[in-house]
Amino acid sequence: MSHFPPRSRVTTTSRIARHPSSFARAFACAIVACCASSRETHAGVSCAFDASTSATWCAYDGLPSGIAVDARAREPSDFTRVDHEMRVTFSSARNPSLNGWVSIGRGASMASATVVVAEVVSGALSGVTVYTLNGQFAPTNVCASSACVVSEAGAARDSTTTRVTFRVREAGAPGSRTFIYANRQNMAWPNKHSSDGTFDLNLSAANAGQLSLASPPPSSGASPPPSSGASPPPSSGASPPPSSSSPSSPSSPPPPPPSPPSPVVSTCALESDGKTWCSSGTGTSGLSVATSAKNASDSSRVDHYVRSTFSGSTNPGANGWASFGPGRTMSSAVVVVGRGGGGPTSTYTLRSQNTPSIICGAGCAVTEASVTQNSSGMTLQFRYTVENSQPGVQSFIWGMRTTSWPGQHRSYGSFSVDLTGTGAGGSSSSSTLKRDVTHGVLMVLVWVIFMPSSTAATLLKNVVLPKGAWFKVHMYGVTIGSIIFVVALGLLLGRPEGSNSSLKNTHSSLALAVVVLWITQYLLGVFRPNKTGEKRLGFIPTSLRPTWFIAHRLIGPTVLIIAAATVITGANLMQNNHGDDSGAGVQFLSPKVVYAMYAVIVAAAIIGAVVDRCCGPRKPIEQPVQPRATAPNHSRETSNGPEYKMAMV
């Protein structure tokens, strides 16, 4: 997540509240007997009654270090919409010590997220603001209306933690939702973040956890001791109010969750194993995924068979390995690792970027793992079960390597699959498709036509483009190409991030190098020194001309080569993401077409250069002027006679 300058005025503020220490919280919790008698644990979620707010909160595990999240549904029995209160605590290195800020909100990227920013000045909270983000720029849109996805924001702080509270409201059944965070240490808002990231929360698990704790635990009559630091005072959004929907007696169980609407199923078929498998796209060529519900009529939990096939460019071969499982990053996922050549199959719990060593044992959400392999690829299959969680959009990660386990993956990525059968992870909206096609076509115009042609013009000075015409072609071609390049880059602003993969990361890295080199080369062209005469623009001396010439000549071909690799990886990404579309734009942006266009441009440049060099007017060979001899020197006739004779010819 990028930095958030410039500064906007605070629209929602909260009083500075001292946060209880971990010891004080444990002591208070023990007095009201809530730590043991009222705790319910579900997959990835631990729920308990909080006496300070008179409400049940559910804590999520598997989050990035230094971040803790508690959530509660306003109406736990309502599984038709998202209406949840959130408490996010930043600690350790993520907590600003003196000056800084933290942000947390709903969304997967800065293109479409709504975040709460809590500012810290001189160790104290200075205010809280809710922003709507619309790109990789400073947020200026303050989201203050009641229709905002994130509202009722507040914050509390002590010497070791900063807690941000807010309410999330969205249409659709509560399920997996992505949240985005960032923080900055030692520099007050606004300044670029020092760390950032995203994580997924299954909000329906909070509903289920609250329903399982239908009433607060019996109180012994004791109350927490009054202490200035024992509990935070109420502030604007800092302490969520009790839910009116919490049942008052365990003898009156809450009504069961309403059945969700029938899932929309696409590309499903009954196969020979007796299961109905529904295929979804992954955005990666050679990687396919299919899911099959254990009981299609049971919408109260996730219980699905998941199958992924690695083939083509993702085939690990007989000596390699492939991994696949639920999760968004390597810090919070469970994966099945299959080894080629009939090696053992293992299921690991991932907690970091290191080689996994934690075997996912009893209570693991992934079971019944199996691996099959043939000459065309490897297939991993497992059963994925999450109790008290409705099927919805689920993130999966994958990796592979063609050499033996363990070892760093050669290719990797992530994508989402709608377990209700809609295949959300593989679908692409028409707006995204049009934007990708337009971006690709413009980049082809720039880096396959305009820039290479403008560079080739420098080789056609004699016959094809004489009398300085080559310079005009070079200058105007580069200028037009640069304008189109800026427009093509602008199309990426606000684009959904979509699935992640090593190919996408390679394309992005190459593109960044192209942008840097292009800016450098363009500035060199603008500020080129004159050959002779006065200083260019009044300050660029002619003595820099040789150095400038070398730099300009080296950077030009370099940026063209890197740009060619970027265009080709982009064409492969286009086919991975939209290859099933039969539109002319997608077909035009295929690797074969791009290779053919480059071949034509290079061939034309070579032929033009040969013609220009061979057929152009030849400059006369300048002979040195020899002085006329006045008289023969007979004394040197024997030794230098031939030389004199040659000189006289």
In this predicted model, what pLDDT tens digit does every residue of 579-629 receive, in sequence order? 656 678 888 888 889 999 999 999 998 998 888 888 766 555 555 555 555
Which two structure tokens, joined as six digits, stand for 357? 């060593």
Do 155 and 163 contact (CB within 8 A), yes or no? yes
Q: Which of these ranges, 304-308, 318-322, 495-499, has the smallest mean pLDDT? A: 495-499
Partners of 386 in the β-ladder: 302
Asked, colleague to colleague, whether 268-418 and 430-615 share their fold, the answer is: no
Task: Tell me if residue 136 falls in helix, strand or coil.
Answer: coil
Question: How many whole angstroms separate alpha carbon 174 and alpha carbon 85?
Answer: 13
> What is the homologous superfamily of the domain 22-212 according to CATH?
Cellobiose dehydrogenase, cytochrome domain (2.60.40.1210)
Partners of 345 in the β-ladder: 338
Nearest 5°: phi and psi at 37? Answer: -80, -15
Buried b (16+ CB within 10 A) or exposed e, 489-520: bebeeebeebbbbbbbebbeebbeebeebbee
- For residue 518, give the nearest of 147, 449, 526 by alpha carbon: 526
Q: Which of these ranges, 48-52, 130-134, 233-237, 621-625, has the smallest mean pLDDT? A: 233-237
Q: Quick count: other Cβ atoms within 10 Å of Cβ 259?
A: 12
CATH code for 268-418?
2.60.40.1210
DSSP assigned state of 446: I
pTM of the model: 0.40
Q: What percent of the chain has pLDDT over 70?
A: 75
Question: How many whole angstroms separate alpha carbon 548 and alpha carbon 554?
Answer: 10
- For residue 116, give the nearest of 135, 137, 99, 131 by alpha carbon: 131
430-444 and 469-490 are packed helices; what angle lies between their axes, rounded to 10 degrees? 160
Element (H, E) at 537: none
pLDDT of residue 104: 95
Edge-to-edge strand ranges of the sheet holding 141-142: 141-142, 124-132, 114-121, 100-106, 176-185, 195-202
Question: How many whole angstroms separate alpha carbon 564 and alpha carbon 400?
Answer: 27
Listed in sequence order, the residues at least 6 apart from 216 whose beta carbon sits closer than 8 Å to its beta carbon are 34, 38, 49, 51, 54, 56, 246
The tens digit of pLDDT for each residue in 513-564 reads 999 999 998 888 888 888 877 888 888 888 888 898 899 889 999 999 999 9
Of the CATH numbers 3.40.50.720, 1.20.120.1770, 3.40.50.10490, 2.40.160.20, which one belongs to the domain with range 430-615? 1.20.120.1770
* Boundaries of every domain in the chain: 22-212, 268-418, 430-615
pLDDT of residue 627: 57
Residue type for 336, please? V
Helical H segments across 334-492, by residue range: 430-444, 451-456, 469-490
Q: Is the peptide bond before 6 cis (omega within 30 degrees of 0)?
A: yes
Beta-sheet pairing, 345-350 with 358-359: antiparallel
Question: How many whole angstroms separate alpha carbon 634 and alpha carbon 250?
Answer: 134
Question: How many whole angstroms separate alpha carbon 561 and alpha carbon 451?
Answer: 11
Which two structure tokens, joined as six digits, stand for 270? 């009954």
In the numeric block, the tokens 């062209």 are attached to 525
Q: Which of these ranges, 67-76, 142-151, 311-320, 577-586, has the smallest mean pLDDT? A: 577-586
Element (H, E) at 120: strand 114-121
Do 447 and 566 contact (CB within 8 A), yes or no? yes
When pLDDT is averaged across residues 405-431 and rounded to a whole number, the result is: 66
pLDDT of residue 516: 95
Q: Is the peptide bond before 190 cis (omega within 30 degrees of 0)?
A: yes
Which two structure tokens, joined as six digits, stand for 511? 């593109």
The tens digit of pLDDT for each residue in 449-485 reads 999 998 888 888 877 788 888 888 988 999 999 999 9
Nearest 5°: phi and psi at 469? Answer: -65, -30
Q: Is the dihedral of CA 291, 113, 500, 449 positive or negative?
A: positive
In the numeric block, the tokens 């220009």 are attached to 612
